């Protein structure tokens, strides 16, 4: 039997990462997936403070890493307690370096199936200008990333998936089905019209209706090919509007506890700037968000 690929919890030991830890525990316990917890310590600010000859930088590093490991294990115990579960075995690690790089490297080296992270780090003002830690990890990683924003009191029950018929959205839907197999699914395709200013109202309405009917048929075919069945109680929504805003609004309307979207690869401009739709969903969604990159060789 093939061993399950582990879930990696990227924790900065803040209250926001408590949500990530608890959600990862819930997913891991439900699926029998092993768990890895990682805390990354960024050194740069530290050495502005450590100027005394009485302090050994190497010893200080070791102390910080030991403390981080102990805090990770305690965070896992508290998360299991919140779920009413016995503390599971968790492979805890602490590293020095840049968070996004270290997380992505560990996810790849351990062949992880999912990265789970809290919504916000410790530096809200800096993150506003440079991008949140979660966004940086999404950019760096080839592994699906789950950003935990809400209290994980139960398994995912209502899931919204953004569909644009691309390979990344196909991967997003397949991944959502794998992690929330018993959830009710709403598939949302947003389209932007171009013809309303050029034709009369009656013709516009006819073209719009025909276009939405064709897109709805395509959406059902797309969903069936990805594995959506009647057991998922699927709802198909084709909506005119900006994709990012439309998906967030649809998730709010559906009272979804998870929104899933695809992302592009990390080459060229995409390596420097997260796609606008995924970024909008990450920043504006009130509940959990999962982003999925389509690899050339699979998810």
Q: What is the pLDDT of residues 226-241, one digit of tens each?
A: 999 999 999 999 999 8
Q: Are residues 136 and 191 in the same domain?
A: no
Q: Are residues 194 and 105 in the same domain?
A: no
Indicate the burial class of 176 (C-beta count within 10 angstroms; 0-12, 13-18, 19 or more): buried
Q: Are residues 121 and 187 in the same domain?
A: no
**Rounded mean pLDDT, 155-174:** 94
The last residue of a domain, from among 149, 176, 202: 149
Q: Are residues 200 and 142 in the same domain?
A: no
Alpha-carbon distance of 86 to 97, in angstroms, equals 32
pLDDT score, position 267: 42
**Rounded mean pLDDT, 59-66:** 87
Q: Are residues 175 and 109 in the same domain?
A: no
Query: What are the phi and psi torsion angles at 127 (to 5°)?
Result: -60, -35
Which residue carries 């790849």 as its tokens?
Answer: 108
SS3 for 198? coil
Q: pTM surpassing 0.85?
A: yes
The last residue of a domain, from among 91, 119, 149: 149
Q: What is the CATH number of the domain that holds 279?
A: 3.40.50.620
Which residue carries 């013809």 as its tokens?
Answer: 195
SS3 for 298? strand
**What is the sign, positive or negative, of the torsion defined by CA atoms of 83, 179, 253, 197?**
positive
Indicate the burial class of 260 (C-beta count within 10 angstroms; 0-12, 13-18, 19 or more): buried
Q: Are residues 174 and 116 in the same domain?
A: no
pLDDT score, position 126: 39
Number of domains in the chain: 2
Proportion of the chain in helix, strand, coil states, percent, rounded to 5: 45, 20, 35
The last residue of a domain, from among 133, 149, 165: 149
Q: Are residues 129 and 176 in the same domain?
A: no
pLDDT score, position 271: 36
- Are 151 and 123 spatial neighbours (Cβ–Cβ below 8 Å)? no
Q: Are strands 114-118 and 91-96 parallel, antiparallel or unpaired?
A: unpaired
Cross-sheet strand order for the sheet of 158-162:
91-96, 35-41, 7-10, 114-118, 145-148, 288-293, 258-263, 158-162, 184-191, 235-240
Say yes or no to pLDDT of 56 above 80.
Answer: no
Q: Are residues 252 and 222 in the same domain?
A: yes
Q: Which residues contact 221 (CB under 8 A, 6 or more apart)?
A: none
> Which 8-state DSSP code applies to residue 232?
G
Range of the domain at 98: 1-149
Confidence of residue 203 (pLDDT cuts 50, 70, 90): confident
Q: Are residues 166 and 223 in the same domain?
A: yes
Q: Residue 50: how many CA atoms within 13 Å on its side-chain side?
A: 13
**Rounded mean pLDDT, 271-288:** 77
CA-based Rg of the chain, rounded to a whole angstrom? 21
Enclosing H/E stretch for 235: strand 235-240
């Amino acid at each position: 039997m093939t061993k399950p690929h582990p879930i990696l919890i990227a924790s900065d030991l803040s209250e926001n990462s408590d949500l990530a830890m608890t959600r990862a525990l819930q997913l891991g316990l439900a699926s029998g997936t092993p768990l890895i917890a990682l805390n990354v310590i960024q050194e740069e600010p530290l050495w502005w403070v450590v100027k005394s000859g009485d302090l050994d930088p190497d010893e200080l590093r070791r102390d910080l890493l030991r403390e981080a490991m102990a805090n990770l294990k305690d965070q896992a115990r508290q998360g299991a307690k919140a779920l009413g579960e016995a503390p599971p075995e968790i492979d805890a690690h602490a590293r020095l370096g840049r968070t996004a790089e270290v997380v992505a490297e560990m996810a790849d080296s351990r062949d992880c199936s999912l990265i789970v992270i809290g919504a916000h780090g410790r530096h809200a003002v800096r993150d506003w200008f440079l991008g949140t830690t979660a966004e940086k990890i999404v950019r760096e990683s080839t592994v699906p990333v789950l950003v935990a924003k809400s209290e994980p009191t139960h398994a995912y029950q209502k899931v919204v998936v953004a569909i644009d018929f691309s390979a990344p959205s196909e991967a997003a839907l397949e991944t959502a089905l794998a992690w929330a197999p018993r959830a009710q699914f709403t598939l949302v395709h947003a389209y932007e019209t171009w013809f309303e200013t050029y034709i009369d109202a009656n013709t516009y309405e006819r073209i719009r209706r025909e276009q939405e009917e064709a897109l709805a048929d395509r959406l059902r075919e797309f969903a069936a090919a990805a594995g959506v069945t009647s057991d998922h109680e699927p709802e198909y929504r084709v909506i005119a509007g900006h994709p990012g805003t439309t998906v967030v609004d649809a998730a709010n309307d559906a009272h979804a506890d998870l929104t899933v979207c695809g992302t592009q690869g990390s080459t060229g401009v995409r390596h420097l700037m997260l796609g606008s739709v995924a970024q909008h969903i990450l920043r504006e969604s009130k509940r959990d968000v999962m982003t999925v990159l389509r690899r050339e060789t699979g998810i």
